[in-house]
A and B are shown apart, each in its own frame.
Chain A
Amino acid sequence: MRRVSSDRIIALAMLTPSVIAIAIFVYGFIGFTGFSSFTNWNSLVPDFSTVGWRNYERLFSAIPTDRFLLDLRNTVSFTILFLIACIVLGFLLAVLLDQRVKGEGIFRSIFLFPMAISFIVTGVVWRWLLNPGTVQTGSSGVNLLFEKIGLGFLRWGWFTDPTIWHIKPDTGLGQFLVGIGLDGIASPYFGVPVAIFSLVIAATWQMSGYTMAMFLAGLRGIPEELREAARVDGANEIQIYRHVIIPLLQPITLSAVIVLGHISLKIFDLVVSMTGPGPAFATDVPAFFMWDTTFRGNNFAQGAAIATILLVSVAVLIVPYLINTMRTEAEL
């Protein structure tokens, strides 16, 4: 016998509006953007004739402009550096705070506060701090500080430095790559623009406190008995962290990677306020290019193609994690 309880009906009635709203405003528009990316809508007048993959092909070709290829390089460099910096720094801070120091609450707040600031503010402040000054007129910001305390050799161009670190084709490794037909890897497209370090510094300053909070919660969740047991077995402190604590923190690390990873793939506000596209697009990112091409160039289909690529890249990161989480919950 099927009986629909009134509870059920109320629950359904409560949920329906938000389900519909999400269906339209999230999934509907995702679908529309995806559809637009295959159209010829590259002016103010909507033109929904389909052009296949042409918008995508244009993004991935180097002539007339290789901006998107450089953006991909920048995003990958930024994501990797930002993740490593945040997780290492966040973990170290958490371990230090976990030593039951006096005034722990104050330190915790200090490390967490940057999180409360928006990326726009962070960007503006770090732009001032890292503005290098010029050779002719003297240093400014952090460079000036280095100069005053006798560390002048540390001065450099920060986010104005156009250098790209990459494997040079004339080195041993470069020649080996050319030899096996992978000469593409020995090019600036597979390099790390040094200007991106400035962005990484600013973003890490903002997000490492958050990572610390996650790790601290994780560390507090590890029962003292486990450490005791390890000590009884004769492990020293480093061994305890290496073999007991870090493995136990693995779910936290994964969460941190997911949260930070999707922030870094979508990063936009920090770049706008801090560096702009940078010298030869050394600090340009896909989100910035999407905004530029859509609202300055009126290339709506082209912008939609970039948005779609961004969505897919974030989905590749997040969907397996969500599936995994759901499966674990179902098992419980």
Chain B
Amino acid sequence: MSRNMRWAIVLCLALIILSIVIACAPAPTPAPTAAPPTAAPKPVARGKLEMFSWWTAGGEADGLNAMYDIYKKTYPTVDIVNATVAGGAGTNAKAVLATRLSGGDPPDSFQLHAGLEVESYAPDKYLQPLDALYTSEGLDKAFPKDLLTLLKYQDHYWGMPVNIHRANVLWYNKKIFTDNNLQPPKTWDEFYKVADTLKAKNIVPLVIGTKEGWEAGHTFETVLIASLGADGYRGLWTGKTQWTDPKVTQALETYKKVMTYVNTDHSALTWDAAAQYLVDGKGAMHIMGDWTDGWFTSKKFTGYGWAPAPGTTGVFDALSDSFAATKGAKNQDNLMNWLKLAGSKAGQEAFNPKKGSICARTDCDPKLFNEYLQSAMKDWSSNAIVPSVAHGAAAVEKWATVYKDILNSFATKGDVAAAQKSLQQVCVDNKMCK
């Protein structure tokens, strides 16, 4: 017994020591505030630029490297370090990034979706506002006005958008449409007619993959835009439109009906596995962002056409990747040079044709881009721009996550009333609705 007692005492002591250690642990000290590596900004920039980007493969990595090349030509003595963690659409990297930011050891710049996703990085604590840079580089004139509104959070700009993707695109297999004498549907009513014809011929009318959980929310936001229009849809995220609106009910009903036309194995597929149906000529349509264009190209598939998703002609459902500047960045001058490049015409023209997206600026040379992207550029400068929720632009991350969960449930259960009640509740939880 005495032996056990002694061990118990040892254990207790260890625990006491531990609790003292925890109690006395120093609070994470902020990094020494911007001690510039060189005393004064000399003409020759030196040192490092620490980047944090999960574009490590494919066209996006090529695009990023093209921008790095320009940077290295201008500042040959600066060493660009990419400190990322590869894989998983940035989920792994984000976890590491969160630790580094809160631990006071931030990389100089990292990648995030433009728009309200920035809220989850606590910008007033961890990021530098870029308003001065926007003015000095004339960006408030180079970007469309709708984009500028979308970029502002708490009245400041927090990121430098490098590209624009469009979410509301209907991709279709041209051969199937000409063989069956069909036109891509402009409204959801037209869609049902087209889909019924295709269904009778044993072709999957609309393909979708919902394995990763965001795809259902992505498709539904295009239905919301069709039902509410650009202004009504924007209002959903600012509290001007209530989620109890009958038009939201209508959107849910439409979506429910649309889901009866999709491939039955959608929960087993990712979006690209679903797009394979189009390549194989087994599926007719796919509503997905315009990264699909690059994916088709990589598959050497050319028989595809595109149109705005049904009911969304004249609306550009946008998402954008941007680079942020962290507070306490160790290489401030190099960082600012990088952001200037990322926002510049030269930088965006180098990056976007490779990434398969269009410039956030409206003055890029269309000749550098392929046919689809040229049409997107035209729409970008003329359409009403609305933010995508499935990709971080429209709502804070917490809201977007629950939105996706609700839609993932709804895609199978189809309980309209419950889904609408939940959507309203999450709006209330985020203090936008009453």
B132 within 8 A of A: no
- Which one of A170-178, A179-187, A271-279 is at the B interface? A271-279
- Whether A132 touches B409, Cβ cut-off 8 Å, given contacts A23-B15, A64-B423, A299-B398, is no
Query: Which stretch, B172-180, B185-193, B259-267, B310-318, touches the partner chain A?
Result: B259-267
Contact A19 B10 (CB under 8 A): yes
* A276 vs B426: C-alpha distance when bound (angstroms): 23
Please determine whether B102 and A136 come into contact, CB atoms closer than 8 angstroms.
no
Give per-residue flags for B202-237: 1 if the beta carbon is below 8 A from chain A beta carbons, else 0.
Answer: 111000001111000000000000000000000000
Given A276-B213, A280-B413, A298-B98, residue A135 in contact with residue B264 (CB < 8 A):
yes
Contact with A along B263-275 (1 / 0, CB 8 A): 1111110000000
Contact of A64 among B202, B212, B397, B429 (CB under 8 A): B429
Whether A44 lies near B268 (C-beta < 8 A) is no
Chain A residues positioned under 8 Å from B211 (CB to CB):
276
Given contact pairs A43-B120, A44-B121, A296-B91, A278 touches B267 in the complex (Cβ within 8 A): yes
For A64, the chain B residues whose CB sits under 8 A away are: 402, 406, 422-423, 425-426, 429
In the complex, A27 has a CB within 8 A of chain B:
yes
Contact A44 B264 (CB under 8 A): no
Specify which chain B residues have a CB less than 8 angstroms from the CB of A136 in the assembled complex. Answer: 202-204, 263-264, 282
Whether B411 contacts A279 by the Cβ 8 Å rule is yes
Contact at A63–B405, with CB atoms within 8 Å?
no
Q: With A64-B425, A64-B429, A131-B268 as given contacts, are A24 and B18 in contact (CB-CB < 8 Å)? A: yes
A133 proximal to B (CB < 8 A) = yes
Residues from chain A with a CB closer than 8 A to the CB of B15 are: 23, 27
Q: In the complex, how many angstroms separate the beta carbon of B236 from the nearest chain A beta carbon?
A: 15
Chain B: residues with CB nearer than 8 A to chain A? Answer: 10-11, 14-15, 17-18, 21-22, 91, 94-95, 98, 101-102, 119-122, 125-126, 202-204, 210-213, 263-268, 277, 280, 282-283, 397-398, 401-402, 405-406, 408-409, 411-413, 421-423, 425-426, 429
User: Is the pair B101, A44 in contact by a Cβ cutoff of 8 Å?
Assistant: yes
- A134 contact set on B, CB distance < 8 A: 204, 263-265
Known: A296-B401, A299-B398. A45 touches B125 (CB 8 A): yes
B117 to chain A, nearest CB (A): 10
The verdict on A46 contacting chain B, using a C-beta distance below 8 Å, is: yes
Top-8 shortest CB links A-B:
A280-B412, A297-B401, A162-B412, A64-B426, A279-B267, A64-B422, A279-B412, A64-B425
A159 proximal to B (CB < 8 A):
yes
Once the chains are docked, how many angstroms separate the CA of A289 from the CA of B116?
A: 23
Show 19 residue pairs from A and B whose CB-CB distance is below 8 angstroms, ordered by the A residue.
Answer: A19-B14, A20-B14, A24-B18, A43-B120, A44-B126, A65-B402, A65-B406, A66-B409, A67-B405, A157-B265, A280-B409, A281-B405, A281-B408, A282-B412, A295-B91, A296-B397, A297-B401, A297-B402, A298-B398
CB distance from B38 to the nearest CB of A (A): 31
Chain B contacts for A16, CB-based, 8 A: 10, 14
The proximity string for A residues 262-276 relative to B, scoring 1 for CB distances below 8 Å and 0 otherwise, is 000000000000011
Query: Considering the chains assembled together, what is the distance between the CA atoms of A280 and B410 in angstroms?
Result: 7
CA distance A136 to B264 in the complex (A): 9
How many Å lie between the Cα of A293 and that of B22 in the bound state? 26
Among the listed B94, B406, B429, which residue makes an inter-chain contact with A295, where contact means beta carbons less than 8 Å apart? B94
Chain A hits for B125, CB < 8 A = 45
Shortest beta-carbon distance from A284 to chain B in Å: 9
- Taken residue by residue from 41 to 64, chain A's Cβ proximity to chain B (1 for < 8 Å, 0 otherwise) reads as 011111000000000000000011
A133: chain B residues at CB < 8 Å are 265
Nearest-CB distance from A283 to chain B (Å)? 9
Chain A positions within 8 Å of B264 at CB level: 132, 134-136, 157, 160
For B401, the chain A residues whose CB sits under 8 A away are 292-293, 296-297, 299
How far apart are the CA atoms of A166 and B210 in the complex, in Å?
25
CA distance A276 to B266 in the complex (A): 12
Digitize A293-305: 1 where CB-to-B-CB distance is under 8 Å, 0 elsewhere: 1011111000000
Q: Does A73 contact B (CB under 8 A)?
A: no
CB distance from A92 to the nearest CB of B (A): 31
Question: Which residues on B sit within 8 Å (CB–CB) of A19?
Answer: 10-11, 14
- Partner pick for A44 among B120, B277, B402, CB 8 A cutoff: B120
Least distance between A29 CB and chain B CB atoms (Å): 10
Q: Which of B212, B263, B267 has the most CB of A within 10 A?
A: B267
* 14 extra A-B contacts, CB within 8 A, seeds A136-B263, A298-B398: A20-B14, A23-B11, A23-B14, A24-B18, A43-B122, A45-B125, A137-B277, A160-B266, A275-B267, A279-B412, A280-B408, A292-B213, A296-B94, A297-B398
Inside 8 A of B102's CB, which chain A residues have their CB? 44-46
Q: C-beta contact mask, A108-141 vs B, less than 8 Å → 1, else 0?
A: 0000000000000000000100011111110000
Q: For A44, what are the chain B residues with a Cβ–Cβ distance below 8 Å?
A: 98, 101-102, 120-122, 126
Question: For residue A295, which residues in chain B have a CB less than 8 angstroms away from its CB?
Answer: 91, 94-95, 98
A28 at the interface (CB under 8 A from B): yes
On chain A, the residues within 8 Å of B11 by CB distance are 19, 23
A20 touches B282 (CB 8 A): no
Q: How far does the alpha carbon of A46 sit from the alpha carbon of B409 in the complex, in Å?
A: 31
Q: What B residues does A292 contact at CB under 8 A?
A: 213, 401
